[in-house]
Each structure stands twice: as C-alpha cells, then as structure tokens.
Amino acid sequence: MAVSPARAVAFEILLRVEREESYAAELLHSAHLVKLSSRDHGLATELVMGVLRWQSLLDQRLAAASSQKLERLDAEVLAALRLGVYQLQFLSRVPARAAIFESVELVKAARKRSAASFVNAVLRKIVAARAEDIFAEIGKSPDSITLAQSAAHPPWLVARWTEHYGLEATRQICTHDQTVPGTAIHIHDDQSNAELAEAGVELSPGRLLSAARRVLSGDVTGTRANQEGRVSIQDEASQLVALLAGRGETIVDCAILDCCAAPGSKTALLARRNPHAKVFATELHPHRARLLQNLNRLPNVHVVAADARHLPFSFTFDRILADVPCSGTGTLARNPEIKWRLKAEDLHDLQARQIAILKSALRQLAIGGRLVYSTCSLEREENEAVVEAALEGTTEFKVSDFKGELELLRQSGEMCWEDIGSLLAGPYLRTIPGVHPCDGFFAAMIERR
C-alpha cells in the first residue's frame, strides 16, 4: 500500500530541512505542492511543524525505546521515527496502527527496508507509554534546565532568556513557540474585505493594531487579493514596525528607504501610507528580490538590487527602515528549525553584519531624518548591542524614545493594545511572543541632528 501523500511530503520536507538547511515554511508553500488537497496540505503542515517544534522531546522518547543510538541512524530512518512518534504522542485522531504502518512504509520507500522491523518495534514500544500533559509540564518547570527539556528548546537559549526576561516570561515564550501561531494580515484596500469573505476567509480584529486582521479560518494565500498584493500576510509586530518607520510630519518630496526589503510587506505598508513619497526598496539576493515583484504595482516604489552594507545612493533619505537579517528567535513558532541550527557563536557573526548595515544606513540618513532599526530576534547581541556599537563615538545621531510614538498611535486609534509600557524596554520597542499577541520584535528609533 502506498504512503499517504501528506506523510510522503512531510517526510521529504523534513529530510530537506535537515540536509539542505532549507526553511520548512517555504517548502510547504512551494509550487510542487499545489496538487495536494487542502486536507493533505494541512496534515503535511501539522506533521512537519510539529516534528520540528518538538524534535528534542521526540528524540528523548525515541532514545528511551531504541536499542540503537539515534545519532547512528540513517537520516531517513530517524525522520520516519520522528513522524511516527509525533503522531502517536500528539495527534489523538490518528490511529496508532496507521502512524506505525506509514512510518514503516516510509523507510521501505526510502530503500531502507532493513530498518522496517526496527521502526515497527520502537514505535510499538512507545505507543504503550502514557503521554503526559506536556503544556502542564512547561507551566510548572522550576528552572531553565527543566523548562528547556519539557518545552523542547535548546538549554543555552532558554538559559539566556531566563536571565534576560525572567523565568515566567521565558515560560510564555516557550509555550508560544510550541503552539501553532495565528495568521495576521494587513488589507490595503476596501474591496479586498468582500473578496476574502466570498473566498471563505473569516477574520477577526487585530489584537495589537486596529487595522490588522487575524485569520480565523480559510486560506488567504490562494485568494486573488493576496496574489495581487492587495493583502499582505504580516505579523502584527511587523506591521507596527512599518507604521513607526513611516510616521512623522509630511515632508515635501519625502524619500523613504527600506534597505532589507524582502518579502516586501513592510515596504508596501510604507508606500501605501505615504503615497506622495518616493520609496526605495533594496535587496541583495536574487531569490529574495523575486519576492518583491508585487511592489511593481505601486507607482511610488523603486526596487534596487544592492548590498545594504554598501548602499549605492548619492542622496539622503528622510525615513529609513533597516529591518536587518537576524537569528529569528522571535519567530520560532513559525520557524522551529531555527532553534536546532542556531549556536551562540552565530550571534556574533550576525552582529558584525548588522552593525555594518546599520552604519551604512545611517550614512544615508538626512539631517533631521529618522531611522528605525529592527529585528525579529530576542537576543541583546542583535538589538541593543548593535545600536550601541553603531553609535559609539558619534554625536550627530541620537536614540529617541518610542513611548511618545506609541502613545500617539494609541490616541489616534491605530493601536488597540492598552499597556504601552509592556511594549517598551527603555527607549526601545520590545515585543515578546506569548506575552504579546505577536512575534518577538525589537526596534530602535535613531535621529540625525
């Protein structure tokens, strides 16, 4: 009997994530999956993301049931076992016999037939074990070590969050990371609301921003509004950063730069909110630049291929957004593979690049202009430390406090989150997943005197 399409796709994607360091979210939306039914696509997504979120916990249970060390297993065998144990422990509606049978069939299809009886034996041993309430275990973890184990996170990462944010906030971060995140969108025109409703997309109001919408049901990605760029799938914290970057008094012939623009959702928001401004969007890598194609529909946007560390412009900008490449630790619910790849030493390499981008962007900032530096990272090395290093020894730039800007957004009705203080870390913007209804973002506002 053939393996089900959903499990075959999940198996293939998990192997590619492991071998090629690909990103699961991108693979799950790749063109060759369009033939999957919506039901199979949903199951494949559940399997891939579930295995990646809980990988260390799954491996712990496999190790206890296995007669062989996991590191000695072929990648195909380990992927099939992880898929099997995830279904046994987390998907109550999948019969145990189906989970075991399909994992055995996966190793056979991968030409690892000799491992079939081993996979069958390991999973049958696990199915007899009682699964505890995992989220209850996370909630009562007394320290970072226990929390890392119960929440399937690397201990070094949980330890540093505990030191920086405290144990309770870290519990909330970990719990958020282990749940399926909601989808937030920004609708750029009036007609798209009706189109989305006709397509079966049910929406609720944003929890952070009044103009944001959260998807309750339906598939936004397949709608015409999304394909034409009239709707952007964009986390509410990301929308907030774009709003803050484009705020301020109207400037005649205002020039705005988004210097790390892909996938373009922030650029689109900047351009539509500032229709009389000239908005420049730069991106270095061709595969990322292709994500900016929808911006061609906006008459005031100009896409430029450029390295943000060496910007090619001979003029300055009144507003700049530097949303730099980062570790992404504020987005682990969406990109769980990051936590298994990232190492502490990687943060220093990222920091060097981020400092170079920020310094380059500051050179393009006009006197009296404002730059917003942002990341979707929870790590100080990529946030406060980058700002401090870039501004060291200079007096022409100053960090401005975001509190006034957030208060203005709340007073105007654009922000519906009441607790402004919780969004601030000194002068900086700081959203914490689980504490706030969004991804983890950091932003700093820098002005040139």
What are the extents of the domains in the chain? 5-127, 137-177, 183-232, 234-448
Tell me the two tokens of residue 343.
Answer: 């190492």
DSSP 365: E
pLDDT at 159 over 70: yes
Contacts of 177 (CB under 8 A, 6+ apart): 53, 151, 153, 332, 333, 336, 339, 433, 434
Strands 424-425 and 212-217: unpaired
Q: Which CATH superfamily is domain 183-232 in?
A: Sun protein; domain 3 (3.30.70.1170)
Rounded (10°) angle between helices 116-127 and 75-90: 20
418 CA to centre of own chain: 24
319 and 298 in contact (C-beta within 8 Å)? Answer: no
Q: Which residues of 282-295 are buried (b: 16+ CB within 10 A; e: fewer)?
A: bbbeeeebeebebb
The predicted pLDDT at position 293 comes to 75
In this predicted model, what pLDDT tens digit does every residue of 13-45 receive, in sequence order?
999 999 998 999 999 988 878 889 989 999 999
Q: Which CATH number fits domain 5-127: 1.10.1240.10, 1.10.468.10, 3.20.20.80, 1.10.940.10?
A: 1.10.940.10
In this predicted model, what pLDDT tens digit does every residue of 365-393 receive, in sequence order?
999 999 999 999 999 999 999 999 999 99
415 and 210 in contact (C-beta within 8 Å)? Answer: yes
102-129: average pLDDT:
93
Tell me the two tokens of residue 100.
Answer: 């075991």
Cα distance between residue 361 and residue 354, in whole Å: 11
Looking at domain 234-448, its CATH class is: alpha beta
372 and 260 in contact (C-beta within 8 Å)? Answer: no
Tell me the two tokens of residue 415.
Answer: 């922000």
DSSP 207: S
Q: Where is 183: in which H helix or E strand?
A: strand 183-187
Residue whose C-alpha is closest to residue 433's, from 172, 236, 240, 233: 172
Catalytic residue among 260, 326, 376, 438: 376
Q: For this structure, is 259 an active site residue?
A: no
Cα distance between residue 82 and residue 401, in whole Å: 47
In this predicted model, what pLDDT tens digit does every residue of 223-238 receive, in sequence order?
999 888 899 999 999 9
Q: What is the pLDDT confidence band of residue 248, given thresholds at 50, 70 and 90?
A: low
Q: What is the pLDDT confidence band of residue 249, given thresholds at 50, 70 and 90?
A: low
From first CA to last CA, the distance across the chain in angstroms is: 71
Task: Please report, as a single letter, which amino acid is at residue 8.
Answer: A
In this predicted model, what pLDDT tens digit does every residue of 313-348 receive, in sequence order?
999 999 999 999 999 999 999 999 999 999 999 999
The dihedral through the CA atoms of 383, 384, 387, 392 has a sign that is negative
Q: What is the pLDDT confidence band of residue 295, given thresholds at 50, 70 and 90?
A: confident
